[in-house]
Structure 1
Amino acid sequence: MPKKLLTALLLAFLGWRCQPKADSVTEDLFADSLVSETDSVDFTPEDQSNIQRLIQLTLLDQFKEDLDLGLIDSLSRTYKYNQVDLNGDGDLEILVGLTGPFFCGSGGCTVLLLTSHGDVITRFSVVKYPAYVDEESSNGWRNLVLYSGGANRVAQFDGTSYPSNPSTLTTYSKSIDQLPKLLDWENQEAFTY
């Protein structure tokens, strides 16, 4: 079976299986929009396993050439993720934080924002973990607060994606203490692909 057909079938299955239960979605988007990989309220372990496989397929596809050339070492094949509904449509976007020398440098690491079907919305560079979801929105999508260039920066959706280099963005002037934390490297499980 051709790879594209197999991927399409898997993505269709994941799209059907990886939706939150209708009764678990509340009107309070900010309080209930964050789902970690260990939450069991909305997803079964099988659902989380499918989401991890979707992420792995996306990473293998995105970095196929570099993997084929042997440029991505085993340390760089580790990731953490969170799911969050950034645009209020009921589908959970997936924020994937990469690590290792291929994806990280002195300025930070590469982070991918994916749709619930594994399509890349934004590929961020130079982000230090963790990341946060702000209460405010731009163009219908929640703002992200990303540490880059020595400060927390506000990443605003422009109608298509978020800016890929957060180090050039406006400094976030509010406190991050009450914001939902994403990609917490100290307290989240890491996965490999």
Structure 2
Amino acid sequence: MKKTFLIGLAMLSLYSCQKKETATDTAKGVDSTAIDLSATTETDNDSAAVNNKTAPIDSKVVDMIRKQLTTVLLTKDLPAMTKEDRFFYYDAFDLNNDKKDEYFVGFSNPYFCGTGGCSGFILNNDGSLLNKFTVTDFPIFVGTTASEKFQDLIVSSKGILYSVKMKNGKYPSNPSVQEKWKGAVPDQSQAILDIDNKKLEKISF
């Protein structure tokens, strides 16, 4: 009788230890999962914050573009423009690999945009005019080939892509009369003036 009681007591003690170990392991598992979820949430929040930021701007470049627009490029247009018309977006890219950026200046209001697309400018690094463009949809893509030492462009007009190449020191201003681009835009082509996705800052002038 005493022997039977001792065996039962030993079995009860063993069962209690196993239950305690299982509960501890489970608790550890919950804690580990909670840490992982917290880390994932923090990373996702950081990514969202980056995606919501506007692209950085250079105040000196902005001042230069403003000056060119108001004193050179749009002097005849200014009297007819409303306050709502007077804003632009800009983007920078070194088109001729001289370690100096050229500046794409685009607009997205009725004064500069119509059913065919929008107008804009490409400025040299010193602010002088390199090119005008018309009936253009944004963004503009930088191609993987070059002509006259300047990168070729892939430009959309009315939803159709065109190959725009430097000719005699200028890009053709109307992409819709150029050769149609065949196939998709290459993955490595950088998007310029990607106003919607890059959330470029809207700048008044």
Q: Deviations over 1:78-129 (max 9, x none)?
A: 2111111101111110011122121111101112000011111110010011
* 2-structure distance, mates of 1:125, 1:89: 26
Structure-2 separation of matches of 1:177 and 1:87: 19
Find the residue that maps to 1:82 and give its secondary structure.
Answer: strand
1:65 corresponds to which of 46, 60, 76 = 76
The answer on 1:56 being equivalent to 2:73 is: no
In structure 2, distance between residues paired with 1:76 and 1:109? 13
Structure whose CA Rg is larger: 2
Instruction: Supply the distance in 1 between the matched residues of 2:154 and 2:127 (Cα, whole angstroms).
Output: 22
Which deviations, in whole Å up to 9, do the C-alpha atoms of 1:126-175 show, x marking residues without a partner?
A: 00111110111111100111111431111100131100111111111132
Alignment-mate amino acid for residue 106 of structure 1: T
Indicate if the aligned counterparts of 2:137 and 2:158 stay in contact, CA closer than 8 A: no
Partner of 1:191: 203
State the Cα RMSD in Å: 1.6
Q: Which aligned pairs between 1:1-12 and structure 2 lie closer than 5 A?
A: none
Matched to 2:175, the amino acid is: P
How many residues of Structure 1 are paired with residues of Structure 2 in the alignment? 148
Residue ranges of structure 1 left out of the alignment (5+ in a row): 1-36, 40-44
Which segments of structure 1 move beyond 4 Å, counting only runs of 4 or more? none
Deviation per CA, 1:15-57, whole angstroms, max 9, x where unpaired?
Answer: xxxxxxxxxxxxxxxxxxxxxx835xxxxx7xx1000001111
Q: Which amino acid aligns with 2:192?
A: L
The residue number in structure 1 matching 2:137 is 128
* Distance in 2 separating the partners of 1:75 and 1:141: 34
Equivalence for 1:42? none
Distance in 2 (CA, whole Å) between partners of 1:85 and 1:97 is 17
Closer/same/farther in 2, CA of residues 177 and 188 from structure 1, 3 Å limit: farther
In structure 2, list runs of 5 or more residues that go unmatched.
1-53
Q: Greater helix percent: which structure?
A: 2
The residue that corresponds to 1:152 in the other structure is 161
Map 1:51-130 → 2, pairs under 5 A: 51-61=61-71, 62-67=73-78, 69=79, 71-130=80-139
Rounded Cα–Cα distance in structure 1 between residues aligned with 2:168 and 2:76: 30
Identity %: 27
